[in-house]
Amino acid sequence: MLSRIADSLFWISRYMERAEDTARILDVNYHMLLEQSQSTIRLRWEPIVHMTGEQEEFFKLYQTANTQTVFEFLAFDDRNPNSILQCIFHARENARTIRDRISREMWQDINSLYHNVSHFRAEEELAVGPHRFCDTIRFGCHRFHGVSDDTLPHDEGWHFLQLGRALERADMTARIVDVEYHNLVDRVAPGEKADTHQWMAVLKSVAAYEIYRRQYHSRIDPERVAEMLILHPQHPRSIRFNVQTVQQALRAISGTGVGAYANEAERLTGKLMTSLAYDRIEDVFARGLHSFLTEMQKTLRQIGHYVARTYFYYATVA
């Protein structure tokens, strides 16, 4: 497989995942805020901008973070390189450059999603609320993965798709937990209790609310939320689950067995996986949640870097 094609496959699914995650966060928080007082709104939207890592660009363009500005910026703004529309655009451009190597169905699906969302206009969607738009994105992304799984041979190309998606998702969940914990726990004065509704929103934004209820049967406890989003072995959006997917994809690509590694990306993934598999949430808190998650995001970035070094950068001829 051409390096360029592997590179594109990896980024198609990364961009699709980024679009989906951003849409989830927007949608859930918007609906939660409908039942909140005006004063919480700014406090709520600001951290969400931080979550996407685009706060600098955002405050260059807008004065304050409110429903209007954040929705416009995260969903539509071309000046935000990671806006949902830009993500869909980039995913589709990547697909277009390798359309001969993906299935006709995949291409038509991502192409029609692109044409479909290109027709959405920020003003119109703000008027009706972001749900319609976010739903289109969410289901568009789900469908994309479904179509890929069903029409693409599960060969190395498919593994690069899995790799891109899992790496992006692990990173996104790490950001969500980090920002939310800081926002909802650290900033709350002693004695005051964290807002249940906001924690419910966090869980819903990663499709984990129902699983949480079934698993813990208790009121929503921030530590349990963190445990679930970081260490849950089966939840498809937990960090552990996704790091495991990264590991499986890397091994499938290189053909390396358990307990060994063929490149730096595999070594780092294995190390991370060991910690996620054997650490308890108490151990994480003992080390400090924030520094644990910061370290995690750094490692995920390094894994991405070494994947590119190993497979995408072109071999130079001696």
Partner 1 sequence: MRVAILAASMPQQQAVMARRSFFAGYDTGKYYDEMFSSASVARPHYEDVFAALDRYTLAEFEERRRLADLSFLLQGITFTVYSDGRGTERLFPFDLIPRIIPRREWDVLEAGLSQRVMALNLFLQDVYGPQRILRDRTIPRSLVFSCQHFQRQMSGVQVPKGIYTHISGIDLVRDSKTGDFVVLEDNVRTPSGISYVLENRLVMTRTFPKVFETLEILPIDHYPLELIQILRSIAARPAGDPTVVLLSPGIHNSAYFEHSFLAQQMGIELVEGRDLVVDNNICYMKTIRGLTRVDVIYRRIDDDFLDPLVFREDSVLGVPGLMNAYRAGNVALANAVGNGVADDKAIYAYVPDFIRYYLGQDPILRNVETYLCSRPDHLSYVLDHLPELVVKAVGESGGYGMLMGPMSTSDKIEEFRRKLKADPRNYIAQPVIGLSRVPSFDVRTNAVAGRHVDLRPYCLFNGEKVVIVPGGLTRVALEPGSMVVNSSQGGGSKDTWVLRGEQ
The residues binding partner 1 (CB under 8 A) are 1-4, 6, 78, 89, 93, 96-101, 104, 107-108, 111-112, 115, 156, 253, 311-312, 314-315, 317
Cβ proximity to partner 1: between 41 and 74 the closer is 74
Those residues whose C-beta lies under 8 Å from the C-beta of residue 185, and which sit 6 or more positions away, are 194, 222
Q: Quick one: residue 191, left, alpha or beta (phi over 0 = left, psi -120 to 50 = alpha)?
A: left
Those residues whose C-beta lies under 8 Å from the C-beta of residue 4, and which sit 6 or more positions away, are 97, 98, 312
> Rounded to the nearest whole angstrom, what is the least distance from the CB of residue 98 to partner 1 in the complex?
8
Cβ proximity to partner 1: between 62 and 89 the closer is 89
> Rounded to the nearest whole angstrom, what is the least distance from the CB of residue 6 to partner 1 in the complex?
5
Cβ proximity to partner 1: between 93 and 264 the closer is 93
> Rounded to the nearest whole angstrom, what is the least distance from the CB of residue 314 to partner 1 in the complex?
4
The token duo for 99 is 């359309």
- Alpha-carbon gap, residue 127 to 148, rounded angstroms: 34
Total Cβ atoms within 10 A of residue 179: 20
Cβ proximity to partner 1: between 285 and 313 the closer is 313
Cβ proximity to partner 1: between 8 and 67 the closer is 8
> Rounded to the nearest whole angstrom, what is the least distance from the CB of residue 7 to partner 1 in the complex?
9
> Rounded to the nearest whole angstrom, what is the least distance from the CB of residue 240 to partner 1 in the complex?
27
